[in-house]
Chain A
Amino acid sequence: DSGVTQTPKHLITATGQRVTLRCSPRSGDLSVYWYQQSLDQGLQFLIQYYNGEERAKGNILERFSAQQFPDLHSELNLSSLELGDSALYFCASSVAVGATNEKLFFGSGTQLSVL
């Protein structure tokens, strides 16, 4: 158990809908990262937050947004869903930001299926 909690584990929805994925980082971790894993693209970095502030952005679509709340949990919002958004979405956390030797701890993911 990594200590990172993601909910829900599975989500089935229809095209055009909007969903929210939730992540609770490990106790004490200030950084949260979101990744998308699809069969053809592998693990793609989406976005990173540190203590409520956005720190890095990857290949995140404009239809997607995220935020980190004062209690440090994070939510990834996906809107106007398309079939191609079906993927595993992982959240990871780390203690801080700025140390290249620090480890990331990943949750078990949310499997999103868009029908």
Chain B
Amino acid sequence: DAKTTQPNSMESNEEEPVHLPCNHSTISGTDYIHWYRQLPSQGPEYVIHGLTSNVNNRMASLAIAEDRKSSTLILHRATLRDAAVYYCILRDVRGAQKLVFGQGTRLTINP
């Protein structure tokens, strides 16, 4: 599985936008970019995914670089409930369908 690189931790303030970066320089053309997050004492939950185009949903936006070697998860207005570990994962259509989690980014939201 192709690897991703994320900062270990980030901090932001409540009601401000948060940009969580992810580098995936070895991404292949068939890899989807998935983001999951894990709130304290809970299982991971799906946030968003994309292939080439930017994506928006009710939780977040995903901005994908033109060369696909990096992406950014955007939380438009962070709340305290968004404090979690965020995982950027590549999923290959040719391989098994498991998700391979890295260390993720621990996001702290200050009130």
Q: Which residue numbers of A lie inside 8 Å of B, CB to CB?
A: 2, 4, 31, 33, 35, 42-45, 48, 55-56, 58, 90, 92, 94, 97-109
* Cβ A43 vs Cβ B91 within 8 A: no
* A43-B101 contact in complex given A103-B46, A106-B43, C-beta closer than 8 Å: yes
For the complex formed, measure the closest distance between the CB of A60 and the CB atoms of chain B, giving whole angstroms. 12
In Å, the complex CA distance between A20 and B55 comes to: 40
* Cβ B43 vs Cβ A2 within 8 A: yes
* Cβ A104 vs Cβ B46 within 8 A: yes
With beta carbons under 8 angstroms apart, the residue of A48, A105, A109 that contacts B97 is A48
Instruction: Please report which residues of chain B, range 74-111, place their CB below 8 angstroms from some CB of chain A when the two chains form the complex.
Output: 87, 91-93, 96-104
* Cβ B43 vs Cβ A94 within 8 A: no
For the complex formed, measure the closest distance between the CB of A56 and the CB atoms of chain B, giving whole angstroms. 4
State how many residues of chain B have any CB contact under 8 Å with chain A.
25
Q: Which residue numbers of B lie inside 8 Å of A, CB to CB?
A: 30-32, 36, 38, 42-46, 49, 51, 87, 91-93, 96-104
With beta carbons under 8 angstroms apart, the residue of B31, B45, B49, B101 that contacts A2 is B45
Interchain residue pairs A-B with the least CB separation, the first 5: A106-B43, A56-B96, A43-B101, A103-B46, A100-B93
For the complex formed, measure the closest distance between the CB of B101 and the CB atoms of chain A, giving whole angstroms. 4
